[in-house]
Structure 1
Amino acid sequence: MPDALQVRIGQYSDRGRKALNQDFHGACVPTGEALSRKGVALALADGISSSEVSHFASAAAVHALLQDYYCTSDAWSVRRSVQCVLAATNAWLHAQTRRSPHRFDADRGHVCTLSALVLKGATAHLFHVGDSRIYRVQGQALEQLTEDHRVVLEGGSSHLSRALGVQPQLDLDYRSVAVDAGDTFVLSTDGVHEHVRAAFMLEALRTHAGDLDEAARAIALEALRCGSDDNLTVQILCIDALAEDAGEALQRRRADLRLPPLLEPRAVLDSYQIVRELHASHRSHVYLAIDQESGEHVVLKTPAVDLQADEAALERFLLEEWIARRIHSPHVLRAVPSQRPREHLFVALEYVPGQTLAQWMTDHPRPQLAEVRDIVGQIARGLQAFHRMEMLHQDLRPENVLIDATGTVKIIDFGAVHVAGLVESQVAAHQADILGTLQYTAPEYFLGEAGTPRSDLFSLGVITYQMLTGRLPYGAQVARVQSRAQLRQLRYSSALHDESRPIPAWVDAVLERAVHPDPLKRQEAMSEFVHELHQPGAATLARTRTPLVRRNPLLFWRTLSLLLGLAVVALIGVLHARG
């Protein structure tokens, strides 16, 4: 038997009689180790005709699946990996609709159907939502492996009962089927299978067995000839050979990933030689290591020994690698691509020589405003990369920001990141479950509320304030908030109190707005906060006339005492003059 999976794929898509093709399709057949670790993936999505942006949803769904699936942890099953990818994609599509003019009309939003097949080892994993279909050739018949999510109404009209992007949470069908060499699968959109007979599909597969692209084209054109007025997309997957014992070996290797022990210098973990420990916390151990094959320095992150029996903690740990691979930004630490099989559970990240922002603040106790603006702007761009993917960092603090020798700033540590659509990342309702560092955590988390991008903005505002003043805007008060009454009692300490670190009054107003206890009263976006640090907006200028009692309480009370004293002296003089 061959050492690797061998397949052939044919694809065809056409707009048919419509002006725009709202279908999208794609396939990925990786090479080398990725083929055995992740297998072959193909997917098609079908937009809905009532939406003018549905083709964007179709393209986004297929792109996300084919890219993000291969970024998931090798320790995850195919089902777990794809469900996470599609849940995150669904949440992102739903959020785009909620931000659009059609937020209350899902039929005009970012919505599509999706059918996907991942072939790994000797198993085909099927994922489906909507009314596109997946078939398997069974002798002289086509076996439909998916169920149409469509409701037929009186009069013959119908509508989708399930689709990608309609609801915040995704209801996804999953099925796995054992496969053999010679098996053939067909994926099609409703514009095809509602008009083409199974007998014609089988005949096209036999006639064009040597050219699957032509077979897909023949099936699609037959649908057009038979009166289809919809977009037409067909994908064909033919399995020529399976790797020897692929299914059992791969599942066994995934299940046998061992939890690393505490590592000492010169120890070797899966061809990485440990140089030294960089950091240790209650969640993880971080080491500097050398890749013995490439000679490059990398950072290895392993689960903390105390958490190695905690399944929820290990699931969150595995999520970190996928997050690092999904984010593409010069201001976010990237994951090192995995090119060989692993025996242990860890995350490999790029090594960036430099210092944390916490150390930088110690070395620069009185930074120039221009330096602060530069660092904050880079952090904000990193956070925006998370927010564009419907993710929240949730643990932004000086220790989680790295500055390299060139001054480039990178956000590190993804252990608390919330990924929209994944239950495991939901913010818990109790303070004990808050994943971020308390001094920098937005107060809404302490009330059990879900975070938003403005929650990350609060953390960035606190860091900016600390860089300029050396202290926190609320001290330790935020961590003690347990009710809205306590939230309203929070009092911002003006950054203008410290005369040894003078800043413009309008900058203080920008900071006060960014760290406001009410998230709706903060800047609407990271970009607005960064812009206002350079040039105050109208909302900020309206706040710059801060009362003296808030800007400088000591001076206020001294002045008031002096005025009262003068008033008393004047009153005594008047009384004395009157005898």
Structure 2
Amino acid sequence: MKKSLDVSIGQATDKGVKSVNQDYLGFRIPKEPMLSSKGIVLAMADGISSSKVSQIASKTAVNGFLEDYYCTSDSWAVKTSVQKVVKSINSWLFAQTKNSPYRYEKDKGYICTFSALVLKSHSAHIFHSGDTRVYRLDGNQLEQLTQDHRRVVSADVSYLTRALGIDQTLEIDYKKLTIEQGDIFILATDGVFEFVDNQTICQFIQQAKSSEQDENLKQKLDIAAKQILDHALSAGSNDNLSVQIVCIESLPSYQLDEVQQHVAMLPMPPALSARMEFDGYQIIREIYISSRSHVYLAKDISSQQTVVIKVPSTELRGDTKYLESFMLEEWIAKRVNHPNAVRAIEPNRKRNYLYLVTEYIEGISLNQWMIDNPKPKLEQVREIIEQVAKGLQAFHRQEMIHQDIRPQNIMIDNSNTAKIIDFGSTYIAGVTDTKSEEALRGTMRYSAPEYFLGQHGTQKSDIYALAVIAYQMLSGKFPYGVEIAQAKSVSAQGRLKYKSLINDESELPIWVDDALRKALQIDPFKRYDQLSEFTHDLRFPNKAFIAKTRPPLIERNPVMFWQTVSFVLFLILVLTALPV
């Protein structure tokens, strides 16, 4: 049975000795497909005691975040979605203060601390501003994962240096961690952690978990949260108190366990050839043979469905790590499940050998399409790039990076649908081993510059590869030529110059070239953050690009520039030589 992300959450909040509870907390566990695309969210806010309205700020921050986060685009990364939502909430709170009687007294306005924990796939994303805290339970110890944004002046005087609503702009801390089954995270306000030591918090949680009572784990965690609050009150807490406890009960089923089991138990397939019957399939012909895999066209004998069978190469059959990576391709194909990515075929019978089965795409590779269409129209390029981008977005939503986007790995079927194939280089967050010697992935002409520095790829690396393909389709050339493969240092890469597609003969809009220039920046931090931004700018003029002036003549046509300068100088000499 397919596993999914499953957690138990316990929480408690109390006004304590104060008349009003200015803390606010909440969580949301959505159903599929939202569970996979956006994850599980916990949020906590703590108002400031000098303000009579900060409880409104806390409630607005938490409720607004839990609502708006799930309305953000599925194509956005968790970090992007959260930051956009939180900054929007911050702007609203700041505006409320500016339009209130407290406009000149920040400490009496709509201000609150804010911490959020987003659990998605095999990762925990932590966002933080203020002095609420996020911990991870590590055995019998608490590991503090956030830094307090509070400046202590004296034993009696301190103030927040960062929180929602203080300033029009907001800086929010971000941290990403890999999670494992059984991990426990705790969110707490200062009314708790200043009066209950870490060891006591651990004891309450461990005791609740090991209790033999009939309650489920959520109820046990609720009890532990209430016990922690009671202990803080008895220890003299003079503030509002809130705590959330979340335990990871199961993770999505793409851990290596099942893959390793296949590798350990299934024998290698025999040598395959045309007309041969193999495990319920009739081999039709060989498609291609490489040093990493052998691929065949086949027909399922029972269903008569035409499929593609991929088997490990003879040279690598003794490499366990390669075989595990080989079998992960099948899981990736099942997980992505997008019209613009090749589909895995699940055999309806027992598999007796180690091999992969995918749909057969009747068509040609993008590489062949480019040979057949050496001068495609801009609209044709846009349509193909947009389809590939949608397929890549399906990878990115699952915290995967394809890492080998090139024309040979894109098929164009008979209905002109582009499909990404070959997932052998795909990086999966929390699963793929990331060793520096394996950082260079894919084909050099399409590999992002950071790979040549031994760095690991990001979603922006896939954006770069897709932009190279777009550039190649429009020009038949590459943006940095062969020099990029030779530039293996920061200084060497700094000397590389983007070769503009624009010249006096070009009919391409200048702003399209600007979009490609940005997507193909050597520094990944200067590229687009999202594929959707890149594809949008290929189709619609970006105002920032339109505002730019046309490249100077010396860049567009140096020969004409110097001819013009020489002619002007000649005229000046002639005029000065004439008698007055």
Tell me the TM-score normalised to structure 1 length.
Answer: 0.62
Instruction: Note closer, same or farther for the CA distance 1:505–1:59 as it changes in structure 2 (3 Å cut).
Output: closer
1:563 aligns with 2:533: no
Choose from 33, 43, 46 the match for 2:8: 46
Instruction: Determine whether 1:370 maps to 2:375.
Output: no
Q: Which residue of 2 aligns with 1:518?
A: 523
Choose which of 296, 300, 303 in structure 1 pairs with 2:305.
296
Q: Which residue of 2 aligns with 1:143?
A: none
Q: 1:452 and 1:498, CA in 2 relative to 1: closer, same or farther beyond 3 A?
A: farther
**C-alpha distance in 2, partners of 1:498/1:396?**
31
Give the 3-state SS of the residue equivalent to 1:47 in structure 2. Answer: strand
Counterpart code for 2:291: H
Matched, 1:108 2:116: yes
- Give how far 1:341 is off: 1.9
Residue identity opposite 1:459 in structure 2: A
* Cα distance in 2 for residues equivalent to 1:558 and 1:152: 66
Letter of the aligned partner of 1:287 in structure 2? Answer: Y
Match of 1:286, SS state, is strand
Structure 1 contact 268–274 (Cα < 8 Å) conserved:
yes
CA contact (8 A) 1:446 1:479 kept: yes
How big is the shift at 1:352? 1.3
Aligned to 1:108, the other structure's residue is in SS state strand
Match of 2:315 in 1: 306
Instruction: Name which of 495, 517, 524 aligns with 2:501.
Output: 495
In the alignment, which of 384, 390, 397 is matched to residue 388 of structure 1?
A: 397
What amino acid is aligned across from residue 564 of structure 1 in structure 2? S
Shift of 1:169: 2.7
Distance 1:168 1:113 in 2: 11
Q: CA deviation at 1:194?
A: 3.4
1:111-510 matched pairs, under 5 angstroms: 111=119, 151=142, 168-170=177-179, 172=181, 194=208, 198=212, 201=214, 255-424=264-433, 426=434, 428-430=435-437, 434-497=440-503, 499=505, 502-510=507-515
Equivalent residue number for residue 527 of structure 1: 532
Q: Take 1:295 and 1:315, find their aligned partners in 2: how far apart are those partners?
A: 29
The answer for the alignment partner of 2:29 in structure 1 is: 56
C-alpha distance 106-335 of structure 1, shift in aligned 2 (>3 A): farther
Query: Which whole-Å deviations, capped at 9, do the CAs of 1:253-281 have from their partners, x for residues lacking one?
Result: 86341223442111232212211111222
Asked whether the 8 Å contact 1:220–1:233 carries over to 2, the reply is no
Query: What is the SS of the residue equivalent to 2:348?
Result: coil
1:540 corresponds to which of 540, 545, 556: 545
- Partner SS for 2:308: strand
Aligned-CA RMSD value: 4.5
Shift in Å, 1:309: 2.1
In structure 1, distance between residues paired with 2:7 and 2:269: 41
User: C-alpha displacement at 1:418, in angstroms?
Assistant: 0.9
Contact 2:281–2:300 under 8 Å retained in 1: yes
SS of equivalent residue, structure 1 residue 110: strand
Q: Deviations over 1:417-460 (max 9, x none)?
A: 11112242x2x535x75121100111011112222211111111
How far apart are 1:360 and its partner, in Å?
Answer: 0.8
Alpha carbons 1:398, 1:463 under 8 Å: kept: yes
Quickly say closer, same or farther: Cα 1:405–1:113, change in 2 above 3 A.
Answer: closer
Distance 2:121 2:11 in 1: 12
Equivalent position amino acid for 1:461 in 2: A
- Return closer, same or farther for 1:527/1:59 CA change in 2, 3 Å cut-off: closer
- What residue identity is the alignment partner of 1:429? S
Q: Is the 8 A contact 1:303 1:314 kept in 2?
A: yes
Deviations 1:194-245 (A, max 9, x none): 39973x64xxxxxxxxxxxxxx89x979x99xx99999999xxxxxxxxxxx
Q: Is the 8 A contact 1:48 1:111 kept in 2?
A: no
Q: Is the 8 A contact 2:36 2:121 kept in 1?
A: no
Relative to structure 1, is the Cα distance of residues 53 and 98 closer, same or farther in structure 2, using a 3 angstrom cutoff? Answer: farther
Q: Secondary structure at the match of 1:461?
A: helix
CA distance in 2, matches of 1:360, 1:113: 36
- CA positional deviation for 1:524: 2.2
**Residues of 2 paired with 1:529 and 1:395: CA distance?**
19
Instruction: Report the TM-score, using the length of structure 2 for normalisation.
Output: 0.62
How far residue 412 of structure 1 moved from its aligned partner, in angstroms, is: 0.8
Residue identity matched to 1:448: G
In 1: Cα distance, 2:180 partner to 2:319 partner: 27
Give distance in 2, aligned partners of 1:293 and 1:513. Answer: 51
Q: Distance in 2 between matches of 1:495 and 1:304?
A: 41
Q: CA deviation at 1:312?
A: 2.2
The 8 Å contact of residues 393 and 418 in structure 1, kept in 2 or not, is answered as: yes
| Residues paired across the two proteins, number | 419
Q: Please give the secondary structure, in 2, of the residue aligned with 1:288.
A: strand
Note the C-alpha offset of 1:166: 7.8
Q: Distance in 2 between matches of 1:449 and 1:251?
A: 27
Matched residue of 1:546: which SS?
Answer: coil
CA contact (8 A) 1:47 1:113 kept: no
Letter in 2 for 1:49: Q
> Structure 1 regions of 5+ residues with no counterpart?
1-29, 31-37, 65-91, 115-128, 132-146, 154-164, 175-189, 202-215, 235-249
User: More displaced, 481-490 or 42-51?
Assistant: 42-51
1:300 touches 1:348 (CA, 8 Å); kept in 2? yes
Once the two structures are superposed, residues 479-538 of structure 1 have per-residue CA deviations (whole angstroms, 9 ceiling, x without a partner) of: 112111111111111112483x62111111111111111112222211111111111212
The 8 Å contact of residues 438 and 479 in structure 1, kept in 2 or not, is answered as yes
Opposite residue 365 of structure 2, the aligned amino acid is: T
* Whole-angstrom CA distance in 2 between matches of 1:48 and 1:542: 53
Q: CA deviation at 1:55?
A: 3.1
Hey, what does 1:142 align to over in structure 2?
none
Q: Are the structure 2 counterparts of residues 53 and 486 from structure 1 closer, same or farther at C-alpha, using a change threshold of 3 Å?
A: farther
Corresponding letter in the other structure for 2:117: G
The amino acid across from 1:311 in the alignment is: T
Deviation at 1:463, TM superposition (A): 0.6
The C-alpha deviation readout for 1:463-486, integer Å capped at 9, x for no partner, is: 111111111111112111211111
CA offsets, 1:156-175, max 9 Å, x none? xxxxxxxxx9852335569x
Quote the offset at 1:544 in angstroms: 5.3
Q: What is the rounded CA distance, in whole Å, between the counterparts of 2:549 and 2:540 in structure 1? A: 13
Instruction: Rate the CA distance shift 1:261–1:481 in 2: closer, same or farther, 3 A.
Output: farther
CA–CA separation in structure 2 for the residues paired with 1:252 and 1:391:
22
Query: Against the structure 1 CA distance between its residues 268 and 316, is the aligned structure 2 distance closer, same or farther, given a 3 Å change threshold?
Result: same
The one-letter amino acid of 2:349's match is R
- 1:143-202 Cα offsets, whole Å, 9 max, x none, are xxxx9767599xxxxxxxxxxx9852335569xxxxxxxxxxxxxxx999839973x64x
User: Any conservation in 1 of the 2:283–2:296 contact (CA below 8 Å)?
Assistant: yes
Q: 1:488 to 1:253 in 2, by over 3 A?
A: closer
> Residues 526 and 300 from structure 1, CA distance in 2 versus in 1: closer, same or farther, beyond 3 angstroms?
same
Sequence identity of aligned pairs in percent?
A: 35
Q: Which amino acid aligns with 2:362?
A: P
Write the deviation string for residues 117-164 of structure 1: whole angstroms up to 9, x where unpaired: xxxxxxxxxxxx988xxxxxxxxxxxxxxx9767599xxxxxxxxxxx
Mark the CA change 1:193 to 1:43 in structure 2 (over 3 Å): closer, same or farther. Answer: farther
- C-alpha change, 1:451 and 1:46, in structure 2 (3 Å) is same
Q: For 1:298, what is the secondary structure of its paired residue?
A: strand
Query: Structure 1's 285 and 562: CA in aligned 2 closer, same or farther, altered over 3 A?
Result: same
Secondary structure (helix, strand or coil) at the match of 2:383 reads helix
Asked if 2 retains the 8 angstrom alpha-carbon contact of 1:192 and 1:233, the reply is no
